[in-house]
Structure formats: structure tokens, C-alpha cells
Amino acid sequence: MSEKIVWTAEAEAKLKDIPFFVRPFARKKIETFALENNFSPITVEVYDQAKKRFNKKFDQMKD
């Protein structure tokens, strides 16, 4: 994972909606999701897809 991951300005701005104390973790998860799915750059659409996937997993863990 030596390649630089590029974020669009819009996606980077959405990342700032995440609380600062979990932001590094969320960034890493979104970047991993993007790499696994060959998404580059990370756009708002990629951000939203990753967020939906992680929220779905989190919701399943709560049940």
C-alpha cells in the first residue's frame, strides 16, 4: 500500500463531519474500502458507499 490515496476536496470536506476522535479510524477504513474496490480518487460517492457498508455492519452487530 505504497501508493498515495487521493481524495477529492468534496470528500475530504465530508470527512470533517466525522467527530475528530474517530476521524483517523474512519479515514483508514474508507481508504481500505476504496483500495479493495479499485476506487480512485475517493469521491463523495465512494465516501457514501463506504459509510453505508460500515453502518450496515455496525447495525448488524447491535442486533
Between the alpha carbon of residue 3 and those of residues 45, 46, 62, the distances in Å are 21, 18, 35
pLDDT digits over 5-61, tens only?
999 999 999 999 999 999 999 999 999 999 999 999 999 999 999 999 988 765 555
Q: Confidence class of residue 4 from pLDDT cuts 50, 70 and 90?
A: confident
Degrees to nearest 5, angle at CA 22 with 32 and 51: 50
Taking the C-alpha atoms of residue 16 and residue 31, their distance in angstroms, rounded to an integer, is 15
46 neighbors 31 (Cβ within 8 angstroms): no
SS3 40: coil
